[in-house]
Structure 1
Amino acid sequence: MSRQPDALRHVVASSADADTVVRRLLRDGWTVREGYALPSSTWDVTLERLVLYGRIGDRDTLKLAVLAAARGAGIVAVCDADSALGRALIDDLSRLGPVQLGPGNQTASPADAGDALAELIPEQRALLDRLAAGDTIAAAAAAEFLSLRTANRRIAEARALFGVRTTREAVLAYLRQRRAAD
């Protein structure tokens, strides 16, 4: 199964930036449609050379955009990359491949959504290290002399810092940023 070129996942800050990217794609022979609902019932739309664009204003629209990208459509999303929604969008799209930020060629990865590593407190680092080693949250909490409730709060705060939804994603983002910092 062939996939779209990496440059077809864009997150831009404004409608003007989206227009710049869309014009370039139209010149290159892509079919461009506003909105993220796919018209085709075929799962893989890669061969249709379809690019969908629009504003990402809520989680439902974010899910539609990511699903369309997973099915092979190009995406030009208007969203503030520094917002929680923008970080979640970049993280989800980055799982499919590189994401272009803005109309230029700045590439993002999930770690680029913010350097959360520097903002973690020692308790969060210790918990994430233990989770990465395979401990459960309860075992990590006991080993760090924290209540389970406090450990869950610290992990929830770490998820928010990394802009992810699951503890597993937070551990992976932590490990990725820690490796990059070494």
Structure 2
Amino acid sequence: MNKVTAAFAAIAWLATLALAFVIGRETVSSHAPDPLPSPIASAAAAAPTPRPSPTPTPTASPTPSYPRYSSTIPSAFRGRWDEIVSDGCAEREARFNLLAATMFNFEVEQNVSRVKLYSPTEIDIEVTGYDDDKNQYNDTWSLKLIDGGKTLTGRKAGASNFRKCPRHTAS
């Protein structure tokens, strides 16, 4: 390195110190570049620092968040439900028959539009159906499971309770 280059490096270093002093920063002498850097130090400074490899984290199954929506009735709610199940619901229509995308309230068929899940045991079923005059209507059924999923009831206080009809075979 010639004397002119060394002089410019020294002036730059002093200017950096003066600037740091003027703006109230810490002295940068420990951070100032070496006026005569060696080629080995320059190559080491230019080389990128390798990143540590990320530690794999165990993947836990995500806990579903509520409320959320579904296009079908959850399987825990599906089945035939009635207030009286001692006869097995065999000779009559059950009060509710809940399928994946269809709901029957006695004989009235209603198509499931959307299901809002509040928890694994509480839902609102939005349905579309037709009355006796073929007029379309929309309705919402607010239901919940109690007694470990053995009883279906409304989400409002004082609602009737329905038990799941046992499976039966035709004779």
**TM-score normalised according to structure 2 size:** 0.21
Task: Looking at secondary structure, tell me which structure has more strand per residue.
Answer: 2
Task: Looking at secondary structure, tell me which structure has more helix per residue.
Answer: 1
Larger RCO (alpha carbons 8 Å, 6+ apart): 1
**TM-score normalised according to structure 1 size:** 0.20
